[in-house]
Amino acid sequence: MEFKKLFIPGPTMVHPDVLAKMSTPMIGHRSKDASELQHRISDKLRDLMYTTGKIVLSTSSGTGVMEGAIRNATAKRAIVFSIGAFGDRWHDLAKFNGIESDIHREEDGQPTMPETVDKYLKTGKYDVVTITHNETSVGIMNPIDGIADVIRKYPDVVFLADCVSSLAGTKIEVDRLGIDICITSSQKALALPPGLAIASISKKAEERFEKVGNRGYYLDLKNLVKYVDKKDYQYSSTPSLSHMYALDFQLDRIVKEGFENRFLRHLEMAEFMIEWANKHFRVFCRPGFESMTVTCIDNTRNINVGDLNKELAKRGMQISNGYGNLKDKTFRIAHMGELMMADMVEVTSAIEEILNLKEVHA
Ligand SMILES: *Cc1c(COP(=O)(O)O)cnc(C)c1O
């Protein structure tokens, strides 16, 4: 098998030293060492997420915790604000769990605006709101500050944020924003192998869990919090210790890089990609709401993305086509995790060469 440099929005490339940590020998998951491992991870994640809340891990991908969150937090009715495929997923998760919910869906390319959120919350019908911070399918980063200002006016509303493709790539101040459950996956900007999900849980979310009768079993967040909280930082069922070793180590690497440096690196790559995309194509989303971790490009030249990827593969690289119904209308280039500016220069130069863009613009 030939391995390519991944410019897809997950799984992202994993540093070899981090991968190596996955093969650390096993320990008992009820041991003191296991407790200490979770302890270390939680402390570092609280720093990275700017929160004093509880941290829980789930041996599932991010969708698992999204499912647990909407099921455990909704006592009355949830309102889902969707701007793409991952926003729509919240609504499906509610539906398939028998949770009362409504969805407000923007047209592809448009962000969730604070005034829209206000319009719904004003009705008093909802006790949960879900926001996709970074909608990977269309390359939009929602205006989370403005949205948080609105949600703050409604103290009975629990705020669930899908930060799967943004956490560790841009600053998300969980407590300042008032996010009650902030969710991320291992395989995006955190640059770990897929299979682990992470969530921060606020006091308010914990109080809500008490009011919800049927929380399920494996993804019962109240139970997960209880184990982490009261049972010496352990888990009710066997956690993926391999991921935990890798996460512990990767968080050390992230601390060493410096949070601000890491966010700046992502910002610089994003700015480079936005400029490049607008020069040769067009960024798909409404200007001003471009994602810091993935650029979704409107296929204005009607190129064959499959053919482009075949050519890129010969050069050892891979980008992503559009998501769902945008498959051929857009394509996506991620800039998160371990990727550096030099990688973005490499992939864009290769695309210019393959598509003869250099000559066209000479
Ligand atoms: C990848 C992604 C998900 C799904 O995460 P999984 O870990 O694959 O379950 C959800 N939301 C967003 C924004 C994503 O990018």
Q: What are the boundaries of each domain within the chain?
A: 5-11+258-355, 17-255
CA of 294 to the centre of ligand 1 (A): 13
Residue to probe by mutation, ligand 1, list 165, 190, 192, most atoms within 8 Å of CB: 165
Does the pTM exceed 0.85?
A: yes
Give pLDDT, residue 360: 52
CB of 10 closer than 6 angstroms to any ligand 1 atom: yes
Residue to probe by mutation, ligand 1, list 58, 80, 88, 136, most atoms within 8 Å of CB: 136
CA of 185 to the centre of ligand 1 (A): 7
Peptide bond into 239 cis (omega under 30): no
Give pLDDT, residue 358: 78
CA of 311 to the centre of ligand 1 (A): 27
- Whether the CB-CB separation of 90 and 66 falls below 8 Å is answered with yes
| Ramachandran region, residue 10 (left: φ > 0; alpha: ψ -120 to 50; beta: rest) | left
Q: Whose CA is nearest to atom 12 of ligand 1?
A: 164
CB of 132 closer than 6 angstroms to any ligand 1 atom: yes
Give pLDDT, residue 231: 82
Distance between CA atoms of residues 282 and 83, nearest Å = 19
Q: 């926003």: which residue's tokens?
A: 87
CB of 185 closer than 6 angstroms to any ligand 1 atom: yes
CA of 38 to the centre of ligand 1 (A): 23
Could you identify the atom of ligand 1 that is nearest to the CA of residue 132? 13
Give pLDDT, residue 3: 93
Could you identify the atom of ligand 1 that is nearest to the CA of residue 63? 9
Give pLDDT, residue 233: 83
CB of 61 closer than 6 angstroms to any ligand 1 atom: yes
pLDDT in tens, 19-46: 999 999 999 999 999 999 999 999 999 9
According to the 3-state scheme, what is the secondary structure of the chain?
A: CCCCEECCCCCCCCCHHHHHHCCCCCCCCCCHHHHHHHHHHHHHHHHHHCCCCEEEEECCCHHHHHHHHHHHHCCCCEEEEECCHHHHHHHHHHHHCCCCEEEEECCCCCCCCHHHHHHHHCCCCCCEEEEECEECCCCEECCHHHHHHHHHCCCCCEEEEECCCCECCECCCHHHHCCCEEEEECCCCCCCCCCCEEEEECHHHHHHHHHCCCCCCCCCHHHHHHHHHHCCCCCCCCCCHHHHHHHHHHHHHHHHHCHHHHHHHHHHHHHHHHHHHHHHCEECCCCCCECCCEEEEECCCCCCHHHHHHHHHHCCEECEECCHHHCCCEEEEECCCCCCHHHHHHHHHHHHHHCCHHHHCC
CA of 31 to the centre of ligand 1 (A): 31
Give pLDDT, residue 169: 98
Distance between CA atoms of residues 139 and 328, nearest Å = 15
Could you identify the atom of ligand 1 that is nearest to the CA of residue 10? 1
CB of 250 closer than 6 angstroms to any ligand 1 atom: no
CB of 296 closer than 6 angstroms to any ligand 1 atom: no
Which CATH number among 1.10.3720.10, 3.90.1150.10, 3.40.640.10, 2.40.37.10 corresponds to the domain 17-255?
Answer: 3.40.640.10
Instruction: Give residues with Cβ within 8 angstroms of 212, minimum separation 6.
Output: 71, 72, 73, 74, 75
Mean pLDDT by 10 residues, the chain (362 residues): 94 98 97 96 98 97 98 98 98 98 98 98 98 98 98 98 98 98 98 98 98 96 93 90 98 98 98 98 98 98 97 98 95 98 98 87 50
CA of 307 to the centre of ligand 1 (A): 26
Give pLDDT, residue 86: 98
CB of 86 closer than 6 angstroms to any ligand 1 atom: yes
**Topology of the domain covering 5-11+258-355:** Aspartate Aminotransferase, domain 1 (3.90.1150)
